[in-house]
Structure 1
Amino acid sequence: MRPERAWQRPAERQRGPRWVLGAGALLLAGLAAFSYRVDRDRLQSFRARALEAGFVEGDPVLTDLAREADPHRAALLLARAILARDLEPESQGARGAHLQQARELGLEALAAHPAAWQAPMIFGAATYLEWSIGQDGRLYREADRWQQPLLSSLSLSPGRNEPTQFLASAYLELWPALSEQRREEARHLVGRALEDPRHFPRLMEPWLERAADRQEAFSLIPKSGEAWRLLARHYADRGQWRAYVEAYDQGFEVKKELARRSLQEAARRQSGRDLRGARHLFLTAAMEAPLCREMDPLVEEALSQAPSGPFNPHYAAAL
């Protein structure tokens, strides 16, 4: 080898790497531009799919899709919108028409982001609803095809309510067909779902119908004065007076327990110099306490110990 070939000048030595880097930069720029065009085209296709699914100009989903820059999030957004609309009672007649589209969108997002909790939830929920509305026997024979995605979504999002709510609703609908082991798991999920005050009114009646007896039914009612009030009213509206009295009495005890807890926490906050939090809890204890002589001392203590603060019409109306 000749020496001049072994000892090239720096400019000559760098010519090769510079060419490679330059070509690489052009290639990456081209890929980025191609990716942008693909993403833009996909995003525009979601608008067409939304219109095909029955959404019209002015629907919030179209506005949200126009703002979305990520195709996978757009797929989830549209699929969730279809599911939410098709779950409304007034959409009963047209439900099945677009659930397959929601299922396909969920499957697309699941393939792109297998660790995301929303994609398996949408896929499982859409599959369940499509088969349930169509009275498809696969709902029972191939239950894992809708159940496993929902359970996967539940494990991926322990703090999220949606998978719990949907699974609880599905299990209540299919209760007679569940094995005893699956019913035990379903009871746990139904109990968690009933704790959400937004969904309690919707799930209360199906649970009462499925519970083996009143004792089992009452065992899942959350410790909430409002929940027990709704339960008592449910029985009163149907003239089931013995059940009404039981629900009313248990609700009465729950209110007393909640008032005592609020009073204890208020005292703890006050000793920790959290006067604003203490005031809120003292007044909450007074509002939660049911009207009876037994609770009079608690109400007097709560009102006398509450730190002074600005007038609040919410407290004034309740007290």
Structure 2
Amino acid sequence: MTRNRLLSGLARGLVAIVAVAVAVLGVQHALTLRAQRRDVVKLLAETGLAGRQPEVARAAAMDPDPVRGRLAVARALLAEAFDYGAFGALPPREAAEAAAGINDRLDLARTIAAETLAARPSAWQAAMILGGATYRLWSSRGDPRVFGDRTGWEGPLLAAARLAPGEDEPLRFLAVAWLEIWPTLTSVERSDALPTMRRAFQDSATFARCAELWLSAAPDPATAFELVPDDSRAWSVLEGLYAGKAEWDGFCVARLRRDQALERELRQRVVEAGEHLRGGDRSGARSLAVGVVTTAPVELRFRDCVEAALALCPPGQVSAQEPVRRWLAWAVEGFVRGQTRLSPAAVARLAASAGELPAGEAALAELAAGNLAQAEVVERRNETPRIEAWAPYWIAKARVLTERGKAAEAAAALSRVHRSWGETVPAAEARLTLARARGDDAEMKATSDSLSAAAASWPATAWQWRGPVARLDLLAGADAAGCAVSLDVVPLAGAVVRVSLDGATVAVAPVRPDGRLVGKARVARGPHVLAFETAAGGRVVPGKVELIPEEGKR
């Protein structure tokens, strides 16, 4: 009995001793963690990250794992070394001081990463930071080891990629580094690097940083384009680079690929908007649909995307009104000429989101939306003005009234067309349509004769400018294989122009002084509107326009 009591007492004593030891260890661990966290806070203050990147600093300071917090500091310091824009928000003097201290902070990042990697050999971020900081430091100092001792930076980065095969970040550092030393790589090393670079370029920021280097390093454009991510942002980056170098052929290829990618992306957004709407997420559906309208370039290629987006978009105002107004102007431009570019419902949605419009444009938009009565309300409020700005409205109204069998009212509308528009193709076509409806053979002949005189060519003075776009209303007397545009003014370095016919792009092409532009899109007999604008480079002024006869009809 005594023995049992003794054993029981010993057991209780041992338990007490263990409990005290555990408590002491817990207190020691807590004190150690607290000290380590204070070290992280001190590190943030010493490096200036607390002021430059407060959100990153806050997250690092509050991380329950101080080792991970220190690594977050090192990672932020490395990121700053690759992006001087991080100092853009600082006053000039502070920004200069921060930039001057980059190398010292890179040394610190290397030290933190090496210590972390020694304690935690599987920490892929530590390996990545060690390799990235070493490369950046050696490169900025012009240290020959960047070429002669590549294992010093390349080894840790490759190790990081092996430790985290699902992470792309180590590959992005490798891609940037390899491109900067590309001339020193062997052909085999270059070939081996391509898959890594292709994967790294999927990150838009990495591609934007590397694109210029890659274009210079690639042996030819075809090889360069193989690694370009097939999305609109990447091709837009190339557009900007080619424009800056006045390499217009490359710009045209990049624009074509951008439009192809953008059309695919916008169609997908329309599908997603529909899914959000069916799921009851009206706000998400609206955001996606508005994004389609404000992103899509204004041309026939993207009409179906915009039409579908407007049909799906829940009601509400749009903050970005300028893109909406451009689409509205494009739609009513066609409507005045008898072309239905967007449905009346789509035009109505655009008009409702375009904000306050000039009275003539507002009345025309109501007319194109099928709201004749509301258009006439706007008209009466402005005392039926006969100024030039209202001419498109009167022409379009005459067309609408003619279609409704109201010939007398249509004639009255045409009588209000300003004289500057009186002899234009849209006005003449409206008169011709009215004469046919009335059976007025004399008017039909007179109008047809006045149009036929300019049915194959038009002088430079026929172009009408509105902002950066020149427009030409023409009436083709016969089917044509295309049209040729003389160029009166072209910058010495050349430029790129975009030409559209009835709202559809028919050419995005480089032009040079003393040249001319040939568009090979078929021009059917009848009225058309040709639009001409500079897409890149200095201002180009179009001259005489001639239709190209079809084969066998020359």
What one-letter code is carried by the residue in structure 1 that aligns with 2:48? F
1:175-254 equivalences under 5 Å are 175-254=182-261
CA distance in 1, matches of 2:44, 2:298: 53
Compared CA separation, residues 214 and 298, structure 1 to 2 (3 A): same
Alpha-carbon offset, residue 156 of structure 1: 4.2
Alpha-carbon offset, residue 65 of structure 1: 5.4
Compared CA separation, residues 17 and 284, structure 1 to 2 (3 A): same
For 2:48, the equivalent position in structure 1 comes to: 55
For 1:143, the equivalent position in structure 2 comes to: 150
Q: Is 1:76 paired with 2:62?
A: no
For 2:116, the equivalent position in structure 1 comes to: 109
Alpha-carbon offset, residue 230 of structure 1: 2.8
Alpha-carbon offset, residue 257 of structure 1: 3.1
CA distance in 1, matches of 2:72, 2:272: 41
Compared CA separation, residues 313 and 179, structure 1 to 2 (3 A): same
Alpha-carbon offset, residue 49 of structure 1: 4.5
Q: Is 1:308 paired with 2:325?
A: no
Compared CA separation, residues 35 and 191, structure 1 to 2 (3 A): same
Compared CA separation, residues 39 and 289, structure 1 to 2 (3 A): closer
CA distance in 1, matches of 2:230, 2:280: 26
CA distance in 1, matches of 2:281, 2:23: 59
Counterpart contact for 1:132–1:139, Cα < 8 Å: yes
1:4-23 equivalences under 5 Å are 8-9=3-4, 11-23=5-17
> Which secondary structure does the structure 2 equivalent of 1:212 belong to?
coil
Counterpart contact for 1:258–1:285, Cα < 8 Å: no
Q: CA RMSD in A?
A: 3.3
What one-letter code is carried by the residue in structure 1 that aligns with 2:142? Q
For 1:164, the equivalent position in structure 2 comes to: 171
More strand by share: 2
For 2:136, the equivalent position in structure 1 comes to: 129
Alpha-carbon offset, residue 163 of structure 1: 2.2
Alpha-carbon offset, residue 282 of structure 1: 5.2
CA displacement, residues 240-261 of structure 1 (integer Å, 9 cap, x when unaligned):
2222222222222322333344
Counterpart contact for 2:40–2:61, Cα < 8 Å: no
CA distance in 1, matches of 2:83, 2:272: 40
Counterpart contact for 1:256–1:290, Cα < 8 Å: no
1:21-40 equivalences under 5 Å are 21-40=15-34
Alpha-carbon offset, residue 76 of structure 1: 0.6
Compared CA separation, residues 177 and 307, structure 1 to 2 (3 A): same
> Which secondary structure does the structure 1 equivalent of 2:204 belong to?
coil
Counterpart contact for 1:168–1:193, Cα < 8 Å: yes
> Which secondary structure does the structure 2 equivalent of 1:313 belong to?
coil
CA displacement, residues 268-288 of structure 1 (integer Å, 9 cap, x when unaligned):
x38965674666555555555
Single out whichever of 219-228 and 294-303 deviates more from structure 2.
294-303
Counterpart contact for 1:258–1:288, Cα < 8 Å: no
Task: For structure 2, list consecutive stretches of 5 or more residues without a partner in the other structure.
Answer: 85-95, 325-554
Alpha-carbon offset, residue 72 of structure 1: 0.5
More helix by share: 1
- Aligned length in residues: 309
Alpha-carbon offset, residue 114 of structure 1: 2.8
CA distance in 1, matches of 2:65, 2:146: 33
Compared CA separation, residues 85 and 230, structure 1 to 2 (3 A): closer
What one-letter code is carried by the residue in structure 1 that aligns with 2:125? Q
> Which secondary structure does the structure 2 equivalent of 1:239 belong to?
coil
- TM-score w.r.t. length of structure 1: 0.79
Counterpart contact for 1:72–1:112, Cα < 8 Å: no
Compared CA separation, residues 41 and 274, structure 1 to 2 (3 A): closer
Compared CA separation, residues 58 and 292, structure 1 to 2 (3 A): closer
Compared CA separation, residues 31 and 229, structure 1 to 2 (3 A): same
CA distance in 1, matches of 2:242, 2:200: 21
Compared CA separation, residues 56 and 98, structure 1 to 2 (3 A): closer
- TM-score w.r.t. length of structure 2: 0.49
Alpha-carbon offset, residue 232 of structure 1: 1.4
CA displacement, residues 128-182 of structure 1 (integer Å, 9 cap, x when unaligned):
2222223333333432332232233334445545323222211111212233343
Task: For structure 1, list consecutive stretches of 5 or more residues without a partner in the other structure.
Answer: none
CA distance in 1, matches of 2:168, 2:210: 14
Counterpart contact for 1:168–1:189, Cα < 8 Å: yes
Counterpart contact for 1:76–1:109, Cα < 8 Å: yes
Alpha-carbon offset, residue 19 of structure 1: 1.9
Counterpart contact for 1:99–1:130, Cα < 8 Å: yes
Compared CA separation, residues 307 and 250, structure 1 to 2 (3 A): closer
Counterpart contact for 1:75–1:108, Cα < 8 Å: no
Compared CA separation, residues 228 and 81, structure 1 to 2 (3 A): closer
CA displacement, residues 209-243 of structure 1 (integer Å, 9 cap, x when unaligned):
21111112222222332332232122122222222
Identity within the alignment, % = 31
What one-letter code is carried by the residue in structure 2 that aligns with 1:241? W
What one-letter code is carried by the residue in structure 2 that aligns with 1:33? V
Compared CA separation, residues 254 and 92, structure 1 to 2 (3 A): same
CA distance in 2, matches of 1:175, 1:183: 8
Counterpart contact for 2:290–2:318, Cα < 8 Å: no
Single out whichever of 36-45 and 224-233 deviates more from structure 2.
36-45
Compared CA separation, residues 107 and 241, structure 1 to 2 (3 A): same
